[in-house]
Structure 1
Amino acid sequence: MLKESGVVVEIDDKFAIVQTKRTSYCRQCAANKGCGTASLSAILGQKYTQVKVINHCNAKVGDRVVIGVEEQALLKSAFVLYLLPLLGLFAGAIGYEMLIIIGEWPRYEPFTILAGSLGLFIGLIGAKKITFLMSKKTDYQPVIVDL
């Protein structure tokens, strides 16, 4: 389980809104002096993120809590969000190229780009629908692990 600490800022029925501080591990890296990411992190400063979590522990506003999410849920979500649109892009472009070969049509590159873009768009819509269904399952939602 991946864990992060934060502070409860709002309570909503069986959920809590927890504010977490984004941390950067750049200060611990040996290459931080010459790294663009470390420089950008230093310029932008600390940012906060609010996360809606399941409140099994009956935490109250102002409580410091530890929230967690299962690794498998995070991996499946990342797969859907990143790989599905990418696969759609390749399927659209390669599918059109296969039609050109089978149908013996003249090759016109803008149509290949358009078919790839259409596949990407379909992949994005599919990812949106799947993530919406995943968000309804409690296995994919972060929970308060400890007060």
Structure 2
Amino acid sequence: MIEETALVVDATDDYIWVEAKARSACSTCGSQSGCSTSSLSKLFGIRQQRIRLPNTFSSRIGEQVVIGVEDQVMVSASLAAYILPVVLMIAGGVIADSAGLGDAQSALGALAGLALGLLGAGVVTGSHRMRRYFQPQLLRQAVRPLTVSPIEFQSFQGDKP
């Protein structure tokens, strides 16, 4: 299970809307200063994702909750988003080449396969049934760190109240 802490930004009795910051994969890497991926991530900034979830814990605005996605869901989404377009792109190029077409037509076949793969990934992940499958789940309310507030002492003034 992949978990992320999110902030409740809107709430009703039935649903909550949470925002989780989408972090780049290199946000925890030690060599950010010399990495071009880190530079690109800083250039495009951190996106906010707003997700609607059932309010199973009676959460309120301003609370932090933990949301999660099953590992298998992430594998399925990755296969649909990355592998399907690449496989169809290669297949389009190979089919055009095996048909005896020239290099330009093979490149167009590969581009057509890529477009078909991207369209297929959108159809697979965008259907109503699959959206529920890919939907993160509300796991629990985030445990807030214990805060200690300072105690103010008044000086002793004898028996005077």
Short-chain TM bin:
0.7 to 0.9
Counterparts of 2:131 and 2:36, CA distance in 1: 38
1:114 lines up with 2:108 in the alignment? yes
TM-score by length of 2: 0.71
Equivalent position SS for 1:85:
helix
In the comparison of the two structures, how many residue pairs are matched? 141
Q: Which runs of 5+ in 2 are unaligned?
A: 142-161
Structure of greater relative contact order (alpha carbons < 8 Å, 6+ residues apart) = 1
* Post-superposition offset of 1:73: 0.2
User: Given that residues 2 and 70 in structure 2 are in contact (C-alpha distance below 8 angstroms), is that contact kept between their aligned partners in structure 1?
Assistant: yes
User: Which stretch has the larger CA shift, 60-69 or 26-35?
Assistant: 26-35
Query: Helix, strand or coil for the counterpart of 1:95?
Result: helix
With the length of structure 1 as denominator, give the TM-score of the two structures: 0.77
Q: Which amino acid aligns with 2:93?
A: A
Q: Distance in 2 between matches of 1:68 and 1:16?
A: 15
Residue 67 of structure 1 corresponds to 67
Percent identity over the alignment? 29
C-alpha RMSD of matched pairs (Å): 2.8
CA displacement 1:114-139 (0-9 Å, x = unmatched): 11111111111111111023754634
> Distance between the aligned counterparts of 1:33 and 1:87, measured in 2?
35
Matches within 5 A, 1:51-130: 51-100=51-100, 107-130=101-124
More helix as a share of residues: 1
